[in-house]
Structure 1
Amino acid sequence: MILRKMALAAMLGLAAAQPGFTAEFTKGEVTKVDAKQKKITIKHEALENLDMPAMTMVFVVADDAMLEKVKPGQAIEFIADRVNGRITVVEIK
């Protein structure tokens, strides 16, 4: 009985460790870059991983260097996710 409980606990632990959703790139257009505040405004399609509809919103960036590669009016593909409770752009291509 104890062995069965240990096996069940191990399986539940492994299941919890697996990521539930892998974020995919979302298409968007940069409307503003604020390097001083480390923010970018993007008009984007729905963010499926965050269950958000298409809209224009301000994001913080995970890495300041991302802001050097973009400019207003530029079409991008990006990944946004929650980082420390803030919706953050974690990758741009």
Structure 2
Amino acid sequence: MKNVVTFIAMCCAVSVSATAYAAGDMGNMNMASGAQQSADVNADANKSMSHGEVKKVDTAAGKLTIKHGPLENLGMEAMTMVFKVKDPAMLSQVNVGDKIDFVAEEVDGSLTVTSLQKQ
């Protein structure tokens, strides 16, 4: 009987300490509203935009060749490379030689332009 009481006391102590640990300190939690979080996401997207120059538009393959500066969100240095485009309509927005701001992300294992603006 003594072992059962000890076992129950230990279980209670463990579950109380686990609950207290899981609750932790909520002082650092972001309690911003959904609208504020959405604005933060848009600001982050603008920060991750890279600058480049269109070197080739391949509408048949759905790709752009871009000479670009550093892609900070991907940890890449400046270079010229080929990207897929998320939306084929992006290809009709640019011509060879256009200066652009764009966001590139890894989508299904391929570097893909997900957002594009002419400068």
The bucket for the TM-score relative to the shorter chain is 0.7 to 0.9
Name the one with the larger helix percent: 2
Alignment of 1:71-86 (within 5 A): 71-86=95-110
Partner residue of 1:45? 69
**Number of aligned residues:** 84
Name the one with the larger strand percent: 1
What TM-score, normalized to structure 1?
Answer: 0.80
Q: Equivalents in 1 of 2:100, 2:22: separation in Å? A: 48
% identical aligned pairs: 47
CA deviation after TM superposition for structure 1 residue 86, in Å: 1.2
- 1:24-64: CA deviations, max 9, x gaps? 21110000001110100000001011111100000000111
Give SS of 2:60's match.
Answer: coil
What TM-score, normalized to structure 2?
Answer: 0.63
Partner residue of 2:18? 2
Q: Which runs of 5+ in 1 are unaligned?
A: none
CA deviation after TM superposition for structure 1 residue 82, in Å: 0.9
Higher relative contact order at CA 8 Å, sep ≥6: structure 1 or structure 2? 1
Q: Which runs of 5+ in 2 are unaligned?
A: 1-16, 30-40
Alignment of 1:49-68 (within 5 A): 49-68=73-92
